[in-house]
Amino acid sequence: MISKQASNQKIVPPQGKDLPDTRFINRELSWLEFNERVLDQAADTTLPLLERVKFLAISSSNLDEFMMVRVGSLQMQYQRNSMVRDASGLTIGEQLLAVAHRCEVFADRQYRILSESLEPTLAEHKIRRIDLNNCNERCIEAAEKRFRNDVLAVISPQAIFEERPFPLLQGLGVHLCVRLKASQQNIADSESNSWEFAVIPLGRTVPRVVLMPSEREHSYLLLEDLIKHHIGDFFPGREVVECVAFRITRNADIELQEDAASDLMIGMEEVLESRRQSRVIRLEYSDDASDATLAFLSEKMQLRSQDLYPTAGPLDLSYLFTLHGLESFDALRDEAWPPQRVASVDPSETMFSSISRDDILLLHPYESFDPVVRLIEEAAIDPDVLAIKQVLYRTSRNSPIVAALKRAAKNGKYVSVIVELKARFDEARNIEWAREMEQAGVQVIYGIRGFKTHAKICIIVRREPQGIVRYMHFGTGNYNEVTAGLYGDVSLLTCNDELGSDASAFFNAVTGASQPQKLRHLDCAPTTLRQRIINLIDSETQRCIEGQKAEIYAKLNALVDTEVIDALYRASQAGVKIRLNIRGVCCLRPGVPGLSETIRVISIVDRFLEHARIFYFRHGGDSELFISSADWMPRNLDRRVEIMVPVDNPDCRQKLMNSLFTYFQDTCNCWEMQADGSYTRTKTEKQPVRSQELLYSHACQATEEVRQRSRTSFETHEPPEHK
C-alpha cells in the first residue's frame, strides 16, 4: 500500500487558552544546549575513559563549526541590521551577547573537565602529557632531539612589521605569538615602542601530538609546548619576552552568489578562497597572555571584547582524538559493536535478487552499509544494467561508491550523478570527485541554482526478462561508508514500480532543470514537502477533535521551522499525543499549559550520532510512516532539494516503527527538554534501558537466528547446467 494524501479538513483547536509571549526557543541557544549534552558525556565517569576523551574532542569540534557558521552569520546580519528579531524575540545583538556568554561558560567547563578529571585519570592509566619544565634530564634530552630533527627545519617564524600587512593566518590553526625586546635601532626610531612581534604558524606538517619515549607509560608533548621550550632557537641574539599560543576562527558563512557566477565550479573555488581570507570572529589564547600581546593581536585582527576567549589549557582540544585512537588501550574504549549482516541479504546471490524478492530496510550502524555499496558495485559490472542515477552530497575520502560510478561509466553504462558542490566544508572534495568522474565519462550535474541538493537517492535501471526494472536506494544519511559506521541512519532498498516512477520523475526534474511534476508517493522540497508535513499533522489534529485516537512520533536532527511548530502546537491543543526525538536544535517549547501540554521532546546522546529522520502518524489506525533526508527547518524545506519516502512494506514498517519507539524507552542516555529550553536527564528506578545497545542487540539476535537456521538446513552443490 502506498500512503494517501492527508486530509485538508478545517481544523478548529480549543480556544481561549493563554499562550506565552514567546512560543519559540532561540535556535543558537538551543544548539549550545545540545553541545552541553555532548560535554556531559565527557564528564560522565561511568563511561570508558577514552570515550570521555573523545566526547570532549567532539564538543570542541562542534563548537568550532558553530562559531564559523552560526556566529559568523549573526555577525554579518548585525552589520546589515542589528535590530532584526528572531522568532524567539531576540535582536541580533542580544543573540551575539548571549552566545558569547554561553560559549565562555562552556569553554570554562571544558577545561575544568580536562584538567580536574580527564588528565589526572589518564595519568593514572599511564597516558601522560609531559611538562618540560618539570621532568627528568632524559626526557629533556629526548625532547631537544625531537625538536632539532623534526621541528626546527620545518617551522619558521614570521616577523611583523608596521609597514607591511598582517600575515594571512590559517583559521583554526594553532599559532604562537612571540613578543621580543625591540632592537636598539628600533627603540631609537620610536621610543614609545619597545616591543617587536613575530608569529609562528604550527601548520599541519608536524603532528600536533609529539610522542615521547617511555618504558612504563605513554608520554606525549603538544607541539606548541615543545616549541615554546626552545623558542630562543628561532631568534638567536634576540631577547624573547613572551611566547603565547593563540588560535583564530574565521567566518565560514560565505555562500556563492549564484546569479553572478557564470561557472559554478570556479565560483565555488572562489568561495573557498574567500573563506580562507574572511573576517576573524574569535580569538582563543592562553590565559597567561600579557595585556601588550593581547592588545597587539586584537588590534591587528580588529576584534571586540566579546570575540576574545582566554583558555586555561591547550588550544584546540581536537588533539584528543589522537589519544582516543592510541593502540594497546582497548580496555579504556567502548566494546566493539561490528555492524551485523542482514538476514534478507544473501551474500551468495546478487543484490538484485535480494531486492526483487522483497524490500530491504537497514538500520545503520547496527546493520552493515555493505549492501548499499554492493548494489552500486554490482551495477557497475552487470551487463543488464543500463543506467545509474545518483545524488552525492558527502562521500568518504577514498569512496568505493565513486570508484564504482567511474567504473560503470567506463563499462558503457549511462551514469548521471548530481554532485552538490555547495556541501559546506566538503566543497573541495566534491570538486575533486566531480572532475574525476567527468574524466571517466560520468554525466555530472552540479545541483540546482539557488538550492542545495540534499536528497539521498540512487536509481539503477536494469533490463530484465519482464522488462525494465528500477532498483532504488533511499536513505537518511550520506553515501559515506565511513560515517555509516558511526551515524544512526536508515536505508530502504526497493524495486517498487510506483516509487520507481516517482524517483525517475524527481531525478529528471532536477537534472533537466524542468518544472517538477506532481509525484504520487514521494514528497519533495522545496515544492510539496512543507505542506505535506503540515497536512499530516493537521490530519491528526482533526481526527483528535472528532474523538479518534491521534498520535505523532518523529525523529529528527533539528526542529526550527515556525510553521511546522505552530501546526504541532495546534495538534497539542486538540489533544494529539506527540513524541519528538530531536538530537540537536529544538525551537518548540514542550509541556506549556494551553500550548504544548501533550508534547514530549527527548534527545539521545550516545556512542553513535543520531542522524535518521523518521516520521510516524497514526492516521486513524492506518498508520503512515516515512523516512526523509530533511529536518524540519526552513533551510531544508525552502532552500534544499529533499525527499520524503513512504515505508509501506509490512516487515520494513514493523522494523522501522520498533526502532522509532525504542528511543522513547531509553533511561540511560535520554535527555528530556523542559519548557525553558533546558534538558534534564531521564532517571528511573526500573531496569535501565539504553536504546542504542538494545537496537544493536536486536541486530545481533537477527544475525544469530540466520546463522542457526543455516546450521539446520542443507544446500546441495548442483552441476552448472542445472542452475
* Planar angle of CA 357, 522, 499, nearest 5 degrees: 25
d(CA 307, CA 105): 14
3-class SS of residue 89: coil
End-to-end Cα, the chain, rounded Å: 34
Q: How confident is the prediction for the chain on average, in pLDDT?
A: 88
Asked whether 441 and 86 are in contact (CB, 8 A), the reply is no
324 an active-site residue?
A: no
List the chain domain ranges.
23-124, 126-303, 351-521, 524-709
CATH number corresponding to 351-521: 3.30.870.10
Report residue 719's pLDDT band, with 50, 70 and 90 as the boundaries. low
Phi, psi at residue 4, to the nearest 5°?
A: -90, 160
Whole-number pLDDT of residue 258: 42
26, 29, 33, 39 alpha-carbon torsion, rounded to 10°: 160
64, 70, 71, 75 alpha-carbon torsion, rounded to 10°: 150
Catalytic-role residue among 229, 364, 454, 698: 454
pLDDT tens sequence across 493-533: 999 999 999 999 999 888 876 666 789 999 999 999 999 99
Return the CATH class of domain 524-709. Answer: alpha beta
pLDDT tens sequence across 62-109: 999 999 889 988 888 888 888 888 999 999 999 999 999 999 999 999
**Percent of the chain at pLDDT exceeding 90:** 69
Report residue 716's pLDDT band, with 50, 70 and 90 as the boundaries. low
Residue type, 266: I
DSSP, residue by residue, 482-507: TGGGTEEEEEEEE--HHHHHHHHHHH
632, 638, 639, 643 alpha-carbon torsion, rounded to 10°: 60
d(CA 694, CA 696): 5
Whole-number pLDDT of residue 514: 64
In the block, which residue shows the cell 495538534?
Answer: 571
Peptide bond into 201 cis (omega under 30): no
pLDDT tens sequence across 117-151: 999 999 999 999 998 888 888 888 899 999 999 89
pLDDT tens sequence across 239-294: 999 999 999 998 887 554 444 444 444 554 555 555 566 789 999 999 999 999 99
d(CA 588, CA 18): 17
Whether the pTM exceeds 0.85: the reply is: yes
CATH number corresponding to 23-124: 1.20.58.310
Give residues with Cβ within 8 angstroms of 229, minimum separation 6: 132, 133, 143, 147
CATH fold match for the domains 351-521 and 524-709: yes
Give residues with Cβ within 8 angstroms of 484, minimum separation 6: 364, 365, 369, 372, 477
CATH number corresponding to 126-303: 3.30.1840.10
